[in-house]
Chains A and B, each alone.
Chain A
Amino acid sequence: MADIDIDLRNNVNGIYIGTVRQGDRMRTIRIIKE
């Protein structure tokens, strides 16, 4: 298990993509900043 806090204050509003990868195992998630 891992928790990562990411500061978004310097990023514009919109859609971002988060990914976690271990070799060829990968998961993506869509994140909205508003």
Chain B
Amino acid sequence: MYTVPSVAGVNTYSWSFSNGAVINGPPNESFAILTFSSAFPTVGTVGVKAISAGCTSTVKSISVSELPIAATAINGPATLSPGIQARYSVSNPDNATVKWTIRNSLGAIVFSGTGNPISFQVPFYLGNLTFSVCATITNTCGATPTICRTVQYSLVAARTANPGQQNPMLAAFPNPAKDQVRLHAEELEPFATTEIRLMDLMGKIIYENSFNPRM
């Protein structure tokens, strides 16, 4: 129910509202009982003007919101490997706020933040883990139910484009190292973009370089 203070001498109040809302009850009072159907936009308006003796006031209106449309699926890679930038998104036709929480199967939060899409760098873990990628869409009216997706973690990136192709060779020496280490890569595809990285166990990049090897 929406109300405005009664004004002396005014006997008609004209209510207006976005499509999808209908007024229930007397139509010309200082209050209006509205029912909102699914046709009502996520953000609409309810307004009222006073009419007296042939004169009409300006419209007083407020913005009305409803819960955004809930996401039904999380889009992004099904398998994560260390060091990559993983990108996830949900359908969000209302352009509401999307809150993300990504935990590993040990319970640690890997990423927490808002946006759509979001991306984060996958840390390095020894052993087999899974990640739980969860999204909640919110606006000023509240939050939709949280949806989650479980994705796998693999030390070795999936080879889908050329499954018969060998991975590059990589050696390090000396290993253990002291002041300096040399990374030696072989079996590189000529002219293909090549990324070499060194990360600590938290996924922080110590060194990064990109180049295109010649024949």
Q: What bracket does the count of chain B residues touching chain A fall in?
A: 35 or more
CB distance from B36 to the nearest CB of A (A): 49
The answer to whether B182 and A4 touch across the interface, beta carbons within 8 angstroms, is: yes
Residues of chain B from 169 to 187 with CB closer than 8 A to chain A in the complex: 169-172, 175-186
Q: How many A-B residue pairs have CB under 8 A?
A: 151
The answer to whether A11 and B200 touch across the interface, beta carbons within 8 angstroms, is: yes
Task: Given A16-B198, A28-B155, check contact A8 B179 (CB 8 Å).
Answer: yes
CB distance from A26 to the nearest CB of B (A): 4
The answer to whether A19 and B177 touch across the interface, beta carbons within 8 angstroms, is: no
Bound form: Cα–Cα A15–B126 in Å? 11
Identify which of B81, B157, B168, B206 contacts A6 (C-beta below 8 A). B206
Bound form: Cα–Cα A1–B211 in Å? 12
The answer to whether A9 and B177 touch across the interface, beta carbons within 8 angstroms, is: no
CB distance from B183 to the nearest CB of A (A): 5
Q: Determine which residue in A1, A21, A27 has the highest number of CB atoms from chain B within 10 A of its CB, and name it.
A: A21
Bound form: Cα–Cα A21–B211 in Å? 11
CB distance from A13 to the nearest CB of B (A): 9
List residues of B whose CB falls within 8 A of some A CB.
81-83, 124, 155-162, 165-172, 175-186, 188-189, 192-201, 206-207, 209, 211, 213
List residues of A whose CB falls within 8 A of some B CB.
1-9, 11, 14-29, 31-34
